[in-house]
Amino acid sequence: MIILDGKKISQEIKKEITETVKSIVAAGKPAPHLAAILVGNDGASETYVGHKEKDCHEVGFRSTVLRFPDSISQEELLSEIVRLNNDDDITGLIVQLPLPKHISEKDVIETINPQKDVDGFHPVNVGKMVSGIPSFVSATPDGIIELMKRYNIETAGKNCVILGRSNIVGRPMANLLSQKAYPGDCTVTICHSRSKNIKEICAAADIIVAALGVPEFLTADMVKDGAVVIDVGITRVKADNKSGFRLVGDVKFDEVSIKTSYITPVPGGVGPMTRVALLKNTLKSYELKNN
């Protein structure tokens, strides 16, 4: 069994990005600039945006976080997005989700200029991705594809099961793995909360991507020998330790890992690859504009 070390690979990618940024700056050009909009005081959102800021600084990007109170109107938020769309100094623009109930996530996403949509959520980017046209792909599926590439995981003709059908993970993942590409060329099945016989479907899979948000859902009896298991899930569960919690994936790691050929750990697998995918997209946006 080989651990798919997302932490190590993401560090390698960060080094590659850092080198590219150094040569951009050495040529007298400004470094890529990521703007993040944060609405309200949600603790998890604060943490995610904090990570994004830290990652930007690590690779030499400029980063700006624009904070707004919960009370901001949709109109005000949209006009802020338009302002950033029109600001030539901003390379990429993300709006941290979720948003307060009175603001439509759909309207917000559709207002972002697709060329600055480094989260890959805009329908133009989703449509391009589905059509196999180069685009910004949402960070988690993009990170998983990159991880598979870097470990040369064979995918052509494999039976792949995706657990979860969210717009940001399950569905794009299923689409990418079914494309005529590497990694890809899989025969893909998507399972969700209404699916029947999930156990049998998983047991026939060569590759399983678990993205449900149900801690330790995937157990050893659901996995065939030699399968590749990618664990996207990350849930905080109470624990008797200093922090009072531990992070648990959607896979029962101890019993599943011994049956697999490759598996991602939680933490240290998909998480760091998701973070670095946003940096990759930001650099891509910069290069598309400036080359």
Active site residues: 52, 96, 119
For ligand NAP, the closer CB: 77 or 201? 201
What tokens were used for 287? 């290069």
Q: Of residues 120, 170, 172, 183, which one binds ligand NAP by CB under 6 A? A: 170
Measured in degrees and rounded to the nearest 5, phi and psi for residue 37 equal -100, 130
Measured in degrees and rounded to the nearest 5, phi and psi for residue 69 equal -75, 160
Contact between residue 266 and residue 212 where contact means Cβ atoms under 8 Å apart: no
| Type of residue found at 217 | F
Number of residues written out for the chain: 291
**Interface stretch with ligand NAP, choices 82-90, 91-99, 152-160, 226-234 (CB under 6 A):** 226-234
Rounded distance between C-alpha atoms, residue 177 and residue 15, angstroms:
27
* Burial classification of residue 189, based on how many CB atoms lie within 10 Å of its CB (0-12 exposed, 13-18 middle, 19 or more buried): middle
CA dihedral 142, 253, 206, 154 (to 10 degrees): 50
Give exposure, 201-236, as e/b (b: 16+ Cβ within 10 Å). Answer: bbeebbbbbbbbbbbbbbeeebbeeebbbbbbbbbe
Q: Which of residues 248-277 bind ligand NAP (CB under 6 A)?
A: 270-271, 274
Q: Of residues 166, 178, 179, 261, which one binds ligand NAP by CB under 6 A? A: 166
Rule CB under 6 A: say whether 45 interacts with ligand NAP.
no
Rule CB under 6 A: say whether 112 interacts with ligand NAP.
no
Rule CB under 6 A: say whether 56 interacts with ligand NAP.
no
Tell me the closest approach of the beta carbon of residue 290 to ligand NAP, in angstroms: 29
Non-local CB neighbours of 60 within 8 Å, separated by 6+ positions = 18, 21, 22, 25, 31
Tell me the closest approach of the beta carbon of residue 239 to ligand NAP, in angstroms: 17
Tell me the closest approach of the beta carbon of residue 23 to ligand NAP, in angstroms: 29
Rule CB under 6 A: say whether 164 interacts with ligand NAP.
yes
Contact between residue 183 and residue 145 where contact means Cβ atoms under 8 Å apart: yes
For ligand NAP, the closer CB: 274 or 281? 274
For ligand NAP, the closer CB: 212 or 229? 212
Q: Which of residues 187-216 bind ligand NAP (CB under 6 A)?
A: 191-195, 211-214
Rule CB under 6 A: say whether 232 interacts with ligand NAP.
yes
For ligand NAP, the closer CB: 65 or 247? 247
For ligand NAP, the closer CB: 48 or 286? 48
Rounded distance between C-alpha atoms, residue 214 and residue 248, angstroms:
9
User: What's the DSSP call for residue 96?
Assistant: P
The site for ligand NAP, by CB under 6 A, has a size of 24
Rule CB under 6 A: say whether 140 interacts with ligand NAP.
yes
For ligand NAP, the closer CB: 165 or 284? 165
Rounded distance between C-alpha atoms, residue 174 and residue 172, angstroms:
5
Rule CB under 6 A: say whether 8 interacts with ligand NAP.
no
Rounded distance between C-alpha atoms, residue 70 and residue 77, angstroms:
11
Q: Of residues 233, 257, 281, 286, which one binds ligand NAP by CB under 6 A? A: 233
Q: What are the residues binding ligand NAP (CB under 6 A)?
A: 140, 163-166, 168-170, 191-195, 211-214, 232-235, 270-271, 274
